[in-house]
Amino acid sequence: MACPPWPKGSRLVHLDLKGAPPRPEHLHALIELFCQLGADGLLVEYEDMFPYEGELRLLQAAAHPAYSRDEVLSMLEFARSKGMEVIPLVQTFGHMEFVLKHQSLWHLREEPHCLGTLNPHKEEGVKLVMEMLKQVVELHPGLSTLHIGADEVYMLGEGEESKLWLASPGRTVEQLFLAHVTKVVKAIKEAWPTMSVIMWDDMMRGMSLDTLRASGLVELVQPMLWDYNPDLDVGQTVSLLERYCSAGMSDLWAASSFKGSTTVYTCVTTTQRHVENHAQWLKVAASLSAGVNLKGIAITGWQRYDHMSVLCELMPVGLPSLAACLQTLIHGQFSAEAQGKVKERLGMSSVEVEDLERTCVVDSSFPGAKLAKLIVELNSLLNSNDLRFFESDMFVRGWLSPYQRQRKMMNPLITKQIHSQASSYLAAIQQKADAVREEMVRLYPESTAQEWMEEHVSPVVVPIQKIREDIQDGLKMMVP
C-alpha cells in the first residue's frame, strides 16, 4: 500500500566516520551520488576523524590520519555546491568512547568500566564538550544546526558522585540526564544564539510529560527519534512523537537506517530489510497530527555500533540499499518506478547488492561498485559450506582429529589429499582477498583494509592454515 511521499523537511544521509573513513576523493564522489539519489543534506559524525587542535589533538585517530582542516572545508564546500546542508554530530554525554579511552581523560568517566559515558558532575567534562563543539562549529562557516548525540548513556547514576547526588530525596536518573543536557544546550545557545540543536531521543522515551516540561529543555532541542527495525511499531512511534509534541517539543526528526543496523558484524547489506524500515516510517509520517512539525529524516548508515566494536558493512556495499530507501521516501513506496530509478542510476539489474556477483561490474556505475562486487564474491566464498565446515569434513574428523594431530598419528595417503584440498581453498581465498585489498586501499586507508581482512578473512583462513601445517609436521614423522 502506498503512502504519501515523505513530507516536507530534509532527507539527510548519515556519514559515520568512526570507522572506514573514505579517502577525500571517494568522499566527494559519494556526496555527488547522495545528491543524485535525492538526499539534500548530510549528518556527519566525525568522531576521531575531525582535525581537533591544541589539547584536543589526542582525540585524532591513531590508526590513520584524521581529515585535515582543508579536507573538511573542501568537503563542506563541495556539499554546499550540490545544495546540501551539512549538520555535524558531536557526542556530548554517551558514546564518548573515542574521548574517554585516553588515559589522561579516564577521570571524566561516569563509571571506570564504562568508556562511553561522561561524568555529569564535573565542570571539566562540560568544558571539554564545549571545546569540542567550538572547534567543530568554527570549521563549519555559517552553521545553523548541531546534533549533540546524547543517546545510550549507559551506567548513568552508577558513579560515586551520581550515587551521592541521587541520595537526596526526589532526585532521579532522568533528572540527572536532563540536567546535563540542559547545561550543554544552554551553553551552546549562549555561544551561538541562533543555533538549532538536535539530540537523539532514546533516553527520554520513558519520561513523563511533567518530567520533560520541568527540564527546561523543551524550547531548546529538537528530538530525533530513531528506529531501524523493518517491523517498526507505527502506532507506538506516532504516540511517542505526539507525546514529545505535547511536552512542547513540536520540532521533531525521524531517523531510519540503510546499513549498519542488522548485526554488529554484518558484511553485506540486505536492501529489502531497510526498505521495509522506510515503508514503516512513511506510515508514521502520514499518521501524525498537524501540530507535529517533522523537520526531516536522517537515514543512518552506521560504520560501527560504537568506537570499540568491529566494522559494519562498508559504504559501497550499502549504496544500493541507500538508493532504494531514498526512492521509497520520494515515491511513497518501493514501486516498480522507484526500483527502475535505482537500477538505472546504479547500473544494476537488481536492487540487492548480493546480485552484483552475477553481473558485470563495468555496467555498475556508482562509487565503489567494483569493491562492492569483490566483497560480495569473497563473502560468498568465505561463507560457503565447504569452507565453513572444512574441519567437520568426514576425512578431517576421521583422519586428522585433534588427538591425531597432537600425536602426529596420520595416514599419509589421506592426509596428503586433505593437504591438497586445504591448499586449493587457501589459494582461492588469497586470490579474491588480494583483489579486495587492492581495491579497498584505493578508497579507504590501509588500516581499514587491514582491519577488514583480519575481521572477515583471518577467522576462516587461520584454522585451514593450521591444518596444513599440522599435516606437514606429521608427514615428516611418517614418511621417509
Residues 279 and 411 in one domain: no
Task: Write out pLDDT tens, residues 116-149.
Answer: 999 999 999 999 999 999 999 999 999 999 999 9
Q: What would the DSSP string read from start to end of 371-434?
A: HHHHHHHHHHHHTSHHHHTGGGSHHHHHHS-HHHHHHT---HHHHHHHHHHHHHHHHHHHHHHH
Task: Write out pLDDT tens, residues 164-213.
Answer: 999 999 999 999 999 999 999 999 999 999 999 999 999 999 999 999 99
pTM of the model: 0.95
Domain count within the chain: 2
Q: What would the DSSP string read from start to end of 210-261?
A: HHHHHTT-TTT-EEEEE---TT--HHHHHHHHHHHHHTT--EEEEEEEEES-
C-alpha pair distances (Å), 125 with each of 118, 128, 466: 7, 5, 49
CB 280 within 8 A of CB 234: yes
Write out the three cell numbers for 138: 568554527
CATH number at residue 95: 3.20.20.80
Q: What would the DSSP string read from start to end of 80-126?
A: HHTT-EEEEB--SSS--HHHHTSGGGGGGBSSTT-SS-B-TT-HHHH
- Domain containing 394 equals 384-478
Domain boundary among 336, 364, 392: 364
Active-site annotation holds for 77: no
Question: 532521579: which residue's cell?
Answer: 172
One-letter amino acid for residue 474 of the chain: G
480 residues of the chain, pLDDT tens digit each: 678 888 778 999 999 999 999 999 999 999 999 999 999 999 999 999 999 999 999 999 999 999 999 999 999 999 999 999 999 999 999 999 999 999 999 999 999 999 999 999 999 999 999 999 999 999 999 999 999 999 999 999 999 999 999 999 999 999 999 999 999 999 999 999 999 999 999 999 999 999 999 988 998 999 999 999 999 999 999 999 999 999 999 999 999 999 999 999 999 999 999 999 999 999 999 999 999 999 999 999 999 999 999 999 999 999 999 999 999 999 999 999 999 999 999 999 899 998 887 765 556 689 999 999 999 999 999 999 888 888 888 888 888 888 988 888 888 898 899 999 999 999 999 999 999 999 999 999 999 999 999 999 999 999 999 989 988 888 888 788
CB 234 within 8 A of CB 278: no
Please state, in angstroms and rounded to a whole number, the distance separating the CA atoms of residues 272 and 255: 17
How many Cβ atoms from other residues are within 10 Å of residue 271's Cβ? 26
Residues 416 and 329 in one domain: no
The answer to the question of residue 461 being in a domain is yes
The answer to the question of residue 173 being in a domain is yes
Q: Which of 152, 158, 391, 451 is catalytic?
A: 152
The answer to the question of residue 338 being in a domain is yes
Residues 332 and 252 in one domain: yes
One-letter amino acid for residue 365 of the chain: S
CB 416 within 8 A of CB 422: no
Domain boundary among 364, 396, 411: 364
